[in-house]
Structures are given as C-alpha cells and as structure tokens.
Structure 1
C-alpha cells in the first residue's frame, strides 16, 4: 500500500527520530513539487534524502575519498544529515541550487522499513515553512489535512528535534 502510493507520485507523512517527516520518491518531480507546495518552500533550497543503510547511497557517494566515507560510516545510522558533494546522480529538483545533496541514514525503525521496501526517500520535516515541525500525527493533519496521501503509523524516536546537518567536506555544522 505504501509502496504503491509512492510509485503513484504520492506524498506520505511518517515519524522519524525527532519530528514527523514528509516524503516521496526522489525520482518523482511531481511528488517533490507537491511537498514544496505543501511546505510553502522554494525549490532552490533543495531537500534531503534518507535511506535504510549506506549501501542505498552508493551511487551518490562515488568519488568520495576514504576519510569522508569513513566519517559517514562512523556517524550513520543516526539523526545526522551530511551535505555531500553532488556527483550528478541526484535530480535537480532534489538538490535545488546547491552543489551538495543532503543524505542521512536513519536509525528509526519506521523510516528504515520504508526505505528497505522503496529505496531512498526525499525527507523533510512535516511543517509549513516558518512553523514548528509536527511532533504528532494530529499536527500533521492540522497542517496538511487530506493533502498528504498517506500517514504512516508509528512513534517518534528519542531525538528532540530535526536532524543535525553537517557539511561533509568543510565540517561546518549548518543546523
């Protein structure tokens, strides 16, 4: 049911480590456009991808040196998103105006199960830009109503907010 929804350019809401997320398949420009419209967010900012394990990101990691790859392997899975140099694999509607792509390997059981069945997903916090991220399924419904195709049941993990974002090359902490 969830996979079919995603293949049909669907947008889902699901619990993550710290907040509810909105997601879709990264190959669906239509679904990405829907997420951006729901959030009131510009495409230029880009979106991140989440996966069940690092092997799902192999194509995105081609060209990384062993030290950078080692940092990813040390810190994943977990609530850390890395901005990795774009090697041309990620679609423009995912990276926006950036030269990097945001990647995260989740340790949340719902996210991992989703990605194990579908591959990497676009993932962004479930909120309208400028408002707090949803921390309950009720808040997701209050923000988006029926404009989200499917709400995946589950509980948040133990983090207290969205993932940390770090630039892999510079080491700069963005969030």
Structure 2
C-alpha cells in the first residue's frame, strides 16, 4: 500500500498510530488479532515502523545487527565496510537503508516505511524497491505500508494507492 498526501496531512502520524507508538482511536487487526490483544512490544515486532529519520544508539552501524547482513548490503549496493563506519559519517540515504535492514532482522509481518527513498538516487531507489520485493514481499503473509511524496512508477504499479487528505484516506481508482 502506498499513501500519498501533502506535507502535514498526518501520514507519519498514521504510521505511528499503526505501530502503536501514539494514542489513537479505532481498531487495527493483524491476522484476525486485535492490536489491543497483543503486548505492545510484541506488536511493534510484528508491525515495525522505519521512520524518515531513524534513531541510532550505538556508535557504528554493525553494532545494531544481530545477524550477518553482507548479502543484503551487496543487494542494496552498500559497501561491506559500512558496518564499521561511525553512524555520524553516513549519509541520510545510507542510514535509511540500514534502518530497513535493522527492522527486517526482527522478521515483521508489516513494514511501515516513512519516505524510505526520499534521500536516494534513482539507482539506489530501484535497488531498495527490488530488495524489498525479493526479500520481504515474496513471503505471502508480509505487507508494506509505504508513505511517499513522489512514488516511483515501480511502486505505483505494484501498490494499492491511497491519498490522505483532511484526515481521510481515499483510494486511487
């Protein structure tokens, strides 16, 4: 699913509410189970938000991973040496791709992506889209809710597209 909308319409707030990070009204289900019936920390493992500006708590990227990500780095066009680099030396686009990898190591059912390609060049954007399709969406019980100001043709063709305006989602027919 791709959600578009003008800046300030609440796209990021919607993702935070779906991730149970802010109070919200309504009911959210995952595999016929209510969000309110699942422990919040467990829900966030199942429904994982990758914000536009991800947080980092260790000095180097590699310290954020509990598994080997070398193959994934290659698929994303990132050098293997990136895991030893201090976080503050990485570009915003590098941090964004690493944050997605960090989220995937917990094997979520739903990825909530807030502008994941906003800081990527076209080649890196294409690699990320293909990576997510090949490594995440090929699993039948996985979904992505992707917020994008300017979705790529790849995303528009593969996603159910919605616009958020005035607090309401409307589908593009």
- Normalising by the residue count of structure 2, what TM-score does the alignment of the two structures yield? 0.29
Q: Which has more radius of gyration?
A: 2
- Normalising by the residue count of structure 1, what TM-score does the alignment of the two structures yield? 0.29
More helix by share: 2
